[in-house]
A and B are shown apart, each in its own frame.
Chain A
Amino acid sequence: MSQISRRQAMAVLGALGFGATAAACAGPGGSTAPGGATGPAAPATGDITGRVSFAHWRGEDKAVFDELIKRFAAKNSGVEVVQDISTSNDYNAQGLQKVRGAAIGDAFATFRGAQFNNFSEAGIYTELKNSKAVGNYQKGLLTAGQSGDSQLGLPYQVVFPMPMANTDLFNKAGAELTPKDWDAFLGMCEKLAASGVVPISWPGGDVGNGGQLFNCMIANNAPVDDMCSQIEQGELKCTDDWFIKMLNQYKDLVPYLQPNATGTAVEPAQNLFSQGKAAMLATGSYHIAAVRNLGATFPIELVFPNTSTDGNAKFEGVYNATFILGVNSASKNQAASAAWIDFLSEPENAGYYANETAQHVSVKDVEYTNADLKRLSPWLDKKTALAARFQFQNLDVRNAVEASATAVISGSSPEQAAEAAQKIVDERL
């Protein structure tokens, strides 16, 4: 073997270093968004075979998806679907980078709002406007997956980010489940407190789950329906009267929350509710399965904290259409990925998913056999507002605005909390 001289060794190392430097200096944004000027293309067609990676964040639904995957594979021999699951927080933060090259996520889901918009902007979604699946969805619920004229994604789940109620405790306390205005809501809380339970279990120590209450509190207080977009754009302000009024209503809730609510994580909050120590869990219907797993056997209803002060509320509740399914434009196996999305969107399979995970779906003609879903189905026809917090495109703005509510519950004055939030919004205008 010939020996290498010191000079040669240095030359090799130098070349390596130069290569690394040159590679590092290649400009950012090296990848272009597929689709270009003509807009996103429909998924490629072909044989439904090969491996499909399905990226999402619903770890709790893994077994249900496994069963659906089995059924899909039985129908299409030679196809294999594997789930790539991240935690919801990680998926929210890194989903785009993970899915972008399609190393994972031939088919994937996104959260409504900022994540869906970023995925759309990055050209990751293909066009599903003419897909077989789109016809299976309720038309009004498809908007969350639209971008301009394109139907990029199919919002699969319908959740109600409103407090869940233990109706046994409500009956015992003689509290009504449908307060007509804010005073009635506080009266309801008072009755529950008087019966010896914590009226509201609120995970104030968990930004994501604690923030769901914000959807309810802002829905009837804001002067417009796109209030969060307008706050972000500087057209509305956290220091506006309506916002301060909302923060004052948060302050009204303090006596009815569990002690030290701002330090409570989501699991202990769920425990308080499932053990019958708290009458409401202020997160949303997406936690039904979790509290059932914790042993809750009581009937569960939803309660809308109606912030209206004159009884003329515009909305009777809030909902969110999320888990927006899509086919990756960079996927090498778009045909099988699209077939998987079509399969999930069939009423029978969507029904299986819904009933097993205790979550409503946007797919039409689904028969809900799950007792909780059956009981909550009337909410699908009520006048509900689309959850406002997902209008925020900038997560720092969203967190700052929602943190103003937490600050009020911690003891800050509504005015101070609003100013602190507005300062952060202003910095990002």
Chain B
Amino acid sequence: MSTHTGMAAKRKAPENTIEAASKKRRSPTRVNPALYLFPLPAVAIIAFFLVMPTLQAFQYAVTDWNGFSAAFNYVGVDNFVRAFTKDSLFTNALTNNLKFVLLVVIAQTVFSLLLALLLTKNSRGNVVLRALFFFPTILSSVSVAFIWKFIYDPNFGLANSALGAIGLEGLQGSYLGNNSQALYWVAVTQVWFHAGQMMVVYIAGLQSIPRELYEAAEMDGANKWQQFKSITWPFVAPATSIVVAYTTVQSFKAFDLILGIAGNPPKGSLDILSTRIYSTFANSEFGYAAAQSIIFMGMIALVTWLQRRLLRLTPKGE
């Protein structure tokens, strides 16, 4: 009996398979549920190393926990109020950071776009120059900090030695020792460090612009500036969007570069939000440092959003 049933089933099998196949065809978006397990490791890592610490930061931010005691008090929003109204070190770091971001975003975007425009063609010389300009990007930020620390040293440094060698002793300076200039010198380092990387993003954007557009523009009598304004700039807008957003986040988080170049703790004129938060943690004020971290996170989100709104770098519908 069972043999007959089995044979009957076998005879029916092709029909079933066809039916199943047609069902699959009817719902082409259906995925094997087992596939949902694949992102599990990544989700777990994100949950434990990103979501959990972020949630903890929110919890710590409303306490006065010192980082090691069993006892702590809930202080509500006091830490946030303190940051903005009673802590001139924090507001100084915030001001420095915003100034640093503004400087670096403008200088790095302009400089990397300029380099990209000059090196778009895939000639042998350009490829060599691109590699040269990209080179600082592969260095570690600590190495970069030490290289530039040497360059800026007022006694043995390359900058003052070079100025002395060409008879410009009058321009020699203290660089990082000059509180009103120190931040600008670190901004120069940051641009040197990352402009090559951003140049590559721009080159990719520039190379995707159809040549016909320039040819048509030339035939219409458009000069180079008009071509840039009407063709290049709109077409590299997505690349600019990436460059600006990335540079903003990078400049907010120039922690290792600042610590490497200015020491730990950095002096007031070079203190930015990330180094201030680190100093607050080191000072055993975990609750307050967590509140500062949340403000920092909000600040990056706000500035990035504002940039995208003001520069209108993302075309509608994208």
Q: Point out the residues of chain B lying under 8 angstroms from A395, CB to CB.
A: 265, 279, 282-283
Contact string against B for A residues 388-421, beta-carbon threshold 8 Å, 1 for contact and 0 otherwise: 0000001110011001001100100000000000
Query: Beyond A262-B177, A268-B153, is A207–B55 a contact (Cβ under 8 Å)?
Result: no
B86 CB-CB contact with A under 8 Å: yes
Contacts of A263 in B (CB 8 A): 152-154, 173-178
Chain B residues whose CB sits within 8 angstroms of the CB of A59 once the complex forms: none
Encode A107-139 as 1/0 by CB contact (under 8 A) with B: 000000000001001100000000000000000
Q: Which residues of A contact B66 (CB under 8 A)?
A: 118
- Is the beta-carbon distance between B89 and A16 smaller than 8 angstroms? no
Measured between alpha carbons, how far is A29 from B89 in the docked complex, in Å?
A: 26
In the complex, what's the smallest C-beta–C-beta distance from A417 to chain B, in angstroms? Answer: 11
Separation in Å of the A121 CB from the closest CB of chain B? 7
Evaluate contact between B47 and A20: CB separation under 8 angstroms: yes
Chain A, interface residues (CB within 8 Å), range? 35 or more
Across the interface, do B65 and A28 meet the contact criterion of CB distance under 8 Å?
yes
Residues of B within 8 A of A4 (CB): 33-34, 36-37
Query: With an 8 A cutoff between CB atoms, is B87 at the interface?
Result: yes
Partner of B176, one of A25, A92, A205: A205
Q: Which of B153-191 contact A (CB under 8 A)?
A: 153-157, 173-179
Is the Cβ of A6 less than 8 Å from the Cβ of B155?
no
> Is B71 in the interface zone, CB < 8 Å from A?
yes
Complex CA gap A259/B169 in Å reads 13
- Whether the Cβ atoms of A28 and B265 lie closer than 8 Å is no
Cα distance A30–B69 in the bound complex, in angstroms? 8
* Partner among B43, B48, B60, B156 whose Cβ is within 8 Å of the Cβ of A268: B156
Q: Provide the bound-state CA to CA distance between A36 and B52, in Å.
A: 30
Given contacts A20-B52, A263-B175, contact A29 B70 (CB under 8 A): yes
Within 8 A of B (CB), among A2-43: 3-6, 8-10, 12-13, 16-17, 19-21, 23-25, 27-33
**Residue B208 interfacial (CB < 8 Å):** no
Please name all residues of chain A whose beta carbon is closer than 8 Å to the beta carbon of B34 when the two chains form the complex: 1, 3-4
List A contacts of B157 (CB < 8 A).
Answer: 268
Inter-chain CA distance A189–B263, complex, in Å, is: 29
Known: A4-B33, A395-B283, A396-B89. A261 touches B177 (CB 8 A): yes
Whether, in the assembled complex, A49 has its beta carbon less than 8 Å from a beta carbon of chain B, the answer is no
A382 within 8 A of B: no
Say how far B65's CB is from chain A's closest CB, in angstroms: 4
For A123, the closest partner residue in chain B by CB is: B68
- Any A CB within 8 A of the CB of B264: yes
Residue A265 lies at the interface, judged by CB distance under 8 Å to chain B:
yes
A30 partner residues in chain B, CB cutoff 8 A: 70
Q: Knowing A29-B72, A265-B149 touch, does A272 contact B155 (C-beta < 8 A)? A: yes
A90 within 8 A of B: yes
> Quick check: B173 and A260 within 8 Å, CB to CB?
yes
Q: How many A-B residue pairs have CB under 8 A?
A: 169
Tell me the complex Cα distance, A25–B55, Å: 7
Q: Name the residue on A nearest B156 (C-beta).
A: A268
Inter-chain contacts of A208 with B (CB < 8 A):
263
Contact residues in A for B154 (Cβ distance below 8 Å): 259-260, 263-264
Asked if B296 CB lies within 8 Å of chain A CBs, one says no
Per the bound structure, the CA–CA distance linking A4 and B35 in Å amounts to 9
Could you tell me if B33 and A96 are in contact, using CB atoms closer than 8 angstroms? no
Say which residue of B52, B267, B283 sits within 8 Å of A23 (CB atoms): B52
- Contacting residues of chain A (203-237) with chain B, CB-CB under 8 angstroms: 204-208
Question: Which residues of the other chain, A, contact B268 by a CB distance below 8 angstroms?
Answer: 403
Cα distance, A32 to B267, chains bound together (Å): 35
Q: Is B44 interfacial (CB 8 A cutoff)?
A: yes
A118 to B68, Cβ gap below 8 A?
yes
Is B263 a contact partner of A93 (Cβ separation < 8 A)?
no
Q: Which of A16, A92, A93, A205 is packed against the most chain B CB atoms within 10 Å?
A: A205
**Is A28's CB under 8 angstroms from B177's CB?**
no
- Whether B281 is near chain A, meaning CB under 8 Å from some CB there, is yes
Q: CA A259 – CA B160 in complex, angstroms?
A: 12
Given contact pairs A13-B43, A263-B176, A396-B279, a sample of 4 additional A-B residue pairs in the complex whose CB atoms are under 8 Å apart: A4-B36, A24-B54, A263-B175, A406-B267
Q: Which residues of A contact B (CB under 8 A)?
A: 1, 3-6, 8-10, 12-13, 16-17, 19-21, 23-25, 27-33, 89-90, 92-94, 96-97, 100, 118, 121-122, 204-208, 258-265, 268, 271-272, 394-396, 399-400, 403, 406-407, 410, 423-424, 427
Could you name 16 residue pairs across A and B whose Cβ atoms are closer than 8 Å? A4-B36, A21-B52, A24-B51, A24-B54, A25-B59, A121-B68, A205-B263, A259-B174, A260-B155, A260-B177, A263-B178, A264-B153, A264-B154, A265-B153, A272-B155, A427-B86
